[in-house]
Structure 1
Amino acid sequence: MFANKPVLSGERVTLRPVGPEHVEGLWELVNDPEVTRLTGSHGVIDRGAAEIWYGSRGEHDDRLDLAICTTEDDDYVGEVVLNDLDAHNLSCNLRIALVGARAFGRGYGAEAIRLVLDHAFATTELHRVSLEVFDFNDRAAHVYRKVGFVEEGVRRDALRWEGEWHDAIMMSVLAPDWAVR
């Protein structure tokens, strides 16, 4: 479904298929303590694994991994991914992460999500794109609602972070809703 790995351009960001040239940015992203907290990432990724990961994403037609780069200087500021494809039910998951404070609050995430959803709903048969956001990530939840995601429910105590339990809020956007937004 995602054999086409496009370059998508907006006012603030350009989305590019991830590749080895983006490993330095990915390394910054996965080593930012605030990013790991916001994404609930407990694991540690080694540099070699990051290089292999970004070097192999183009080979997979069941997912779309795009680097978020600024339009002004092509600086890597994050990634947006469509993954967990369920081809029978025409649905997938959306995941996004920005590199941290230097990318937060600048509209990069909202524009990246709009660009990837515009592409997905216009060029594939996808009907549903879903995501989860942790209850303490108000900034992300606000952006998801603003771009058109609707809250569907809550997975209670889905994340244990530094000894405290947090809920995961489930959200989705459907192709018909996206078309009339």
Structure 2
Amino acid sequence: MPFSAVGDRVEVRPPTLADVEAYREAVTRSHHRLADFAVPDPENLPAIVASQSAVYRSFMVWSRDPGREHGLVGRVNVANVVRGSFRSATMGYDAYDPYAGTGLFAEGLRLVVGLLFAPEPEGMALHRVEANIQPVNGRSAGLARSLGFVHEGFSRDYLHIPGPDGRRDWRDHDRYTMLATDWPAEPYRPHPRRRTAVLVSGLPGAGKARVATALAAELGLPLLSADAVKVGVAGSSPPDVVGVGETLWRLLADSPVGAVVDGPWQARDADHVQRGLTAAGFDPASVPEVHCDLTCVDTAGPLALGPVVTVDTREPLTPRQLVAVALRARVASSSP
């Protein structure tokens, strides 16, 4: 039967009108939990059955040994199905009492994800599945991570739904994703992160700190500043550029996402910076440099190891300049 699977303790299949009584009992008994993040309706199964289509599918998870209970472990909805070059969908799910927390729903959800990636007609032949979860719903996020879904991003005001406060409002969501090429996945696998680095150079007093802070905020990256680590370089007056740099490179190497690195480098420090970037896992020729230039006094010049954007810091960095530099950094970090 298409869209069906059997596991050790549960089985998965599409909903039918024969499920109405079990569904009504399951949703009613679980209302106290589900109402924190949804609008549970114990009477809407006929509408769900009637809505089944190529762009919206539901999967019911049933216990293979229900005993005297209703047997309905949970429901998974797959919506917003897009074919063509995208082959993607979003997934939502509810676990029902008395089965929540027993591991049965996790087994069923694993079977459902397998069906989403399975070839047609038995499955949906998708490439990508996304679960959008409110940040306060740690239990659902933990379930997604236990199947190997990874946190891919954050969507502000994503859905107009209830929250734990009981009010309908626009709710932020975290995006957790799985690709067919990654399935089956290791539980709680590490998040694959793209590492990005940007250098901010210039003479002391050239306004580097302001530029570096703005870039770090735009890119969502840590800020590593020479000024912040000078205290770790004993006996340096003026600060030892090499000593400060070595600390920055170690911090950059340890960062799983990279960083905006702000230092008092001049053209003569190019060899040192090149070695540091290489040791931190970056190709110096691909790392953008923002050179803060007080044109009337600056004779230091940029490092020029990679793409250079010179900013006249006698005037504030414009939003357009900031975004242009940030986009150049993203392009460089995406290059093979």
The answer (yes or no) to whether the contact 2:23–2:45 under 8 Å persists in 1 is no
Q: Which has the larger radius of gyration?
A: 2
The structure carrying a bigger strand percent of its residues is: 1
Give % identity. Answer: 25
Structure 2 unpaired stretches of 5+? 187-336
Structure 1 pair 10/46, CA: closer, same or farther in 2 (3 Å)? closer
- How far the C-alpha of 1:46 sits from its partner, in A, is 7.0
SS where residue 136 of structure 2 aligns?
coil
Cα deviation digits, residues 144-171 of structure 1 (max 9, x gap): 1110111111223555632598631111
Cα deviation digits, residues 15-62 of structure 1 (max 9, x gap): 12101122223334544121121xx224x6473xx242244255x232
**Please, what TM-score do these two structures have when normalized by structure 2?**
0.46
What is the CA RMSD across the aligned residues, in angstroms? Answer: 2.6
Cα deviation digits, residues 117-161 of structure 1 (max 9, x gap): 112212243110001111222122111111011111122355563
Specify the code of the residue in structure 2 equivalent to 1:116.
V
The answer (yes or no) to whether the contact 2:148–2:185 under 8 Å persists in 1 is no
**Residue 34 (structure 1) aligns with:** 33
- How far the C-alpha of 1:112 sits from its partner, in A, is 1.5
2: CA distance, partners of 1:68 / 1:61: 20
**Residue 22 (structure 2) aligns with:** 25
Question: What does 1:6-155 correspond to in 2, within 5 Å?
Answer: 6-31=3-28, 32-37=31-36, 40-42=37-39, 45=41, 47=43, 50-58=44-52, 60-73=53-66, 75-88=71-84, 89-100=86-97, 102-123=98-119, 124-155=124-155
2: CA distance, partners of 1:19 / 1:160: 27
Structure 1 pair 127/41, CA: closer, same or farther in 2 (3 Å)? same
SS where residue 24 of structure 1 aligns?
helix
Specify the code of the residue in structure 1 equivalent to 2:127.
H
Structure 1 pair 177/14, CA: closer, same or farther in 2 (3 Å)? same
Stretches (4+) displaced over 4 A: 157-160, 163-166
- How far the C-alpha of 1:180 sits from its partner, in A, is 6.1
The answer (yes or no) to whether the contact 1:148–1:173 under 8 Å persists in 2 is yes
1: CA distance, partners of 2:72 / 2:185: 31
Pick which of 168-177 and 107-116 moved more. 107-116
Structure 1 unpaired stretches of 5+? none
Count of residues in Structure 1 that have an aligned counterpart in Structure 2: 171
